C-alpha cells in the first residue's frame, strides 16, 4: 500500500466524529425510535436537536464529505442508523439530495441551494431527490417527466409525476431528474432544482411503509412547474454540449441519476451496516442473559455460531463499505463495481442479521417490546432503494464479465 493507501483504522479525527455521533444516537435517537416508528411522522424535534448540535447541517455534511480518508460520513451514518434508521433517514435524507445537487451542480448553484436545503437550527429545512417514477424505478431511463426549455424567457417548464421521494413535498428544495430529449433515452436527461414555494409542485400520496416509518416518502406532482434557467444543474452550455456529443454518436458521460447513485452508494451501505450492528449487539446481549435449560442461550453452539456469523458479516459489510468510500474519495475508478458490491453486501447483511436477531430473541423478538423487529423492517429497504440487490448484481455482473448482461 502507498502512503495514502486504504487503511481500515480510522484516523483520530474520524474516531472523534464516530464517538460524537454515537453519543447522540445513544441518548437521543435510539430512545425515540419506537415512538416515531409508531407515529409514522417526520421527527421534527429530533431533526431540530441534530441541527442544534451541528449534526444536521451543511457544515457537517461538507466537512465529512471532504474528510481525506472517505470514512467520515461512513462512521457518522453507521452510528446514526445504529440509533434508529427511520429517524436516521429523516436526518440524512437531505444529504442525499445535497449529493445529487453536488454531483452535477456548478459551484454557484451549490452555494445558492445547499444552505437552503438545510436551513438553520432555528428554522430547519429539508431537501428531496426525485428520480423515481411510477413506471421508472430500476429502469431510470424510462423517466417520463419532461423539461421543456422556453426560449423566450430562458425558463424550464417541468411536467410529470415523481414517486417514492424521501422528503418529497415537505422539502424546501427538490432536485428533480427530467428528460430534456426523450429521443435520446437515458442520455437525454438532466437534473433541475425546484426552489422553495415554486407553484405547480405539490405532494401526492404519502406512503404508509413496512419500515423506516419515521422517514417521509411521497409522490411529487409537477404540473407546469416553471424554474429559471439557472436551476438547470451544470448549466445550459454544458447540457447542450453533452446532447450534441450524444447526437453525433460520441461518448456522452453517465446519466444524471446514475451519477448520483454512484457517489451515494457507500453512504447508503454504511446506514445498513449500522442497522445490522444494532441487531447483532441486541441479540448478543440478550443471548448472554436469557436462560433456558438451566444455561444461558448463548452457551449453545447453535446460538453462539449464529452470533459469530452475524458479527463476521457485519465486519465484512463495513470493510467493503469503507473500501468503496475510500476509493470514491481518492478518485479510484470502480472497475469491479466496488460501490455496488458494498451496497449489495451491506443491504443483504442488514436483512439477514436482523432476522437472526429476531430468532435469537424468540417470541420476544417478534414483539414491539424489543427493537429487533423494527430493525428488521427497517433493514429491508436496503435491498430495494438506491438500486435493488438485483440491479447491483447486474452492475457487478457487467463489470466482472465485460458482457452486456441484461
Ligand X SMILES: Cc1cc2nc3c(=O)[nH]c(=O)nc-3n(C[C@H](O)[C@H](O)[C@H](O)COP(=O)(O)OP(=O)(O)OC[C@H]3O[C@@H](n4cnc5c(N)ncnc54)[C@H](O)[C@@H]3O)c2cc1C
Hey, which residues are catalytic here?
A: 386
Q: Using the rule CB under 6 A, give the single segment among 36-44, 164-172, 273-281, 286-294 that binds ligand X.
A: 164-172
Distance (Å, whole) CA 187 – CA 256: 8
The correct pick among 47, 117, 165, 276 for binding ligand X (CB under 6 A) is 165
Distance (Å, whole) CA 384 – CA 164: 11
CB closest to ligand X, residue no: 137
DSSP collapsed to 3 states, 165-211: EECCCCCCEEEEEEECCHHHHHHHEEEEEECCCCCCEEEEEECCCCC
Q: How far is the CB of 97 from ligand X (least distance, A)?
A: 8
Burial of 153 (0-12, 13-18, 19+ CB in 10 A): exposed
Residue number, 96 or 287, with CB nearest to ligand X = 96
Residue number, 82 or 382, with CB nearest to ligand X = 382
Q: How far is the CB of 38 from ligand X (least distance, A)?
A: 17
Distance (Å, whole) CA 341 – CA 172: 33
Task: Spell out, one character per residue from 374 to 393, where the chain touches ligand X: x when CB under 6 A holds, - when not.
Answer: -------x--xxx-x-xx--
Taking CB under 6 A as the criterion, which residues in 118-147 touch ligand X? Answer: 129-132, 137-138
Taking CB under 6 A as the criterion, which residues in 321-340 touch ligand X? Answer: none
Distance (Å, whole) CA 201 – CA 13: 41
Distance (Å, whole) CA 125 – CA 116: 7
Residue 85 engages ligand X in binding (rule: CB under 6 A): no
How many other C-beta atoms are found inside a 10 Å radius of the C-beta of residue 104? Answer: 22
Residue 205 engages ligand X in binding (rule: CB under 6 A): no
Distance (Å, whole) CA 274 – CA 80: 7
Residue 203 engages ligand X in binding (rule: CB under 6 A): no
Q: How far is the CB of 168 from ligand X (least distance, A)?
A: 7
Residue 287 engages ligand X in binding (rule: CB under 6 A): no
Residue 217 engages ligand X in binding (rule: CB under 6 A): yes
Residue 161 engages ligand X in binding (rule: CB under 6 A): no
Strand partners, 227: 156
Residue 36 engages ligand X in binding (rule: CB under 6 A): no
Residue 27 engages ligand X in binding (rule: CB under 6 A): no
For the record, the C-alpha cell of 262 comes out as 454512484
Which residues, at least 6 apart from 190, have a Cβ–Cβ distance to it below 8 Å? Answer: 104, 147, 177, 178, 180, 232, 233, 234, 239, 256
Residue number, 217 or 321, with CB nearest to ligand X = 217
Residue number, 287 or 342, with CB nearest to ligand X = 342
Degrees, nearest 5: CA angle 393-398-401: 115
* Spacing of C-alpha 179 from chain mean position: 23
Q: How far is the CB of 161 from ligand X (least distance, A)?
A: 12
Residue 56 engages ligand X in binding (rule: CB under 6 A): no
Number of residues binding to ligand X, judged by CB under 6 A: 20
Residue number, 166 or 349, with CB nearest to ligand X = 166
The site for ligand X (CB under 6 A) is made up of 129-132, 137-138, 164-166, 209, 212, 217, 381, 384-386, 388, 390-391, 394
Amino acid at each position: 500500500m502507498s502512503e495514502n493507501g486504504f487503511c481500515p483504522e480510522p484516523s483520530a479525527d474520524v474516531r472523534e466524529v464516530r464517538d460524537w455521533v454515537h453519543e447522540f444516537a445513544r441518548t437521543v435517537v435510539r430512545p425515540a425510535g419506537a415512538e416515531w416508528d409508531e407515529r409514522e411522522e417526520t421527527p421534527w424535534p429530533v431533526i431540530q436537536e441534530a441541527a442544534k448540535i451541528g449534526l444536521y447541517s451543511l457544515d457537517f455534511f461538507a466537512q465529512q464529505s471532504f474528510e481525506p480518508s472517505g470514512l467520515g460520513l461512513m462512521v457518522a451514518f453507521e452510528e446514526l442508523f445504529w440509533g434508529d434508521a427511520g429517524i436516521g433517514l429523516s436526518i440524512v435524507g437531505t444529504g442525499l439530495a445535497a449529493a445529487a445537487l453536488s454531483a452535477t451542480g456548478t459551484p454557484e448553484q451549490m452555494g445558492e441551494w445547499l444552505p437552503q436545503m438545510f436551513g438553520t437550527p432555528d428554522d430547519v429545512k429539508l431537501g428531496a431527490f426525485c428520480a423515481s417514477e411510477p413506471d421508472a424505478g430500476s429502469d431510470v431511463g424510462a423517466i417520463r417527466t419532461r423539461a421543456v426549455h422556453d426560449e423566450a424567457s430562458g425558463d424550464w417548464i417541468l411536467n410529470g409525476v415523481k414517486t417514492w421521494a424521501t422528503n418529497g413535498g415537505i422539502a424546501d428544495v427538490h432536485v428533480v431528474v427530467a428528460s430534456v430529449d426523450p429521443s435520446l433515452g437515458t442520455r437525454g436527461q438532466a437534473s433541475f432544482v425546484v426552489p422553495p414555494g415554486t407553484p405547480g409542485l405539490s405532494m401526492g400520496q404519502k406512503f404508509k411503509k413496512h419500515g423506516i416509518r419515521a422517514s417521509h416518502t411521497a409522490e411529487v406532482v409537477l404540473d407546469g412547474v416553471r424554474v429559471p434557467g439557472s436551476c438547470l444543474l451544470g448549466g445550459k452550455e454544458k447540457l447542450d454540449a453533452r446532447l450534441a456529443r450524444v447526437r453525433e454518436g460520441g461518448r456522452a458521460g453517465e446519466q444524471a441519476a446514475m451519477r448520483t447513485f454512484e457517489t451515494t452508494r457507500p453512504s447508503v451501505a454504511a446506514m445498513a451496516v449500522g442497522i445490522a450492528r444494532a441487531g447483532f449487539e441486541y441479540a448478543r446481549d440478550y443471548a448472554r442473559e436469557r436462560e433456558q435449560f438451566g444455561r444461558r442461550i448463548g452457551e449453545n453452539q447453535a446460538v453462539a455460531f449464529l452470533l459469530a456469523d452475524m458479527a463476521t458479516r457485519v465486519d465484512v459489510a463495513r470493510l467493503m463499505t469503507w473500501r468503496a468510500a475510500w476509493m470514491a474519495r481518492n478518485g479510484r475508478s470502480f472497475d469491479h463495481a466496488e460501490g455496488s458490491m458494498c451496497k449489495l453486501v451491506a443491504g443483504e447483511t442488514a436483512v439477514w442479521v436482523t432476522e437472526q436477531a429476531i430468532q435469537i430473541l424468540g417470541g420476544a423478538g417478534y414483539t414491539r417490546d424489543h427493537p429487533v423487529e423494527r430493525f428488521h423492517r427497517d433493514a429491508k429497504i436496503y435491498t430495494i432503494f438506491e438500486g435493488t440487490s438485483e440491479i447491483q448484481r447486474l452492475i457487478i455482473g457487467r463489470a466482472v464479465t465485460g458482457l452486456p448482461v441484461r
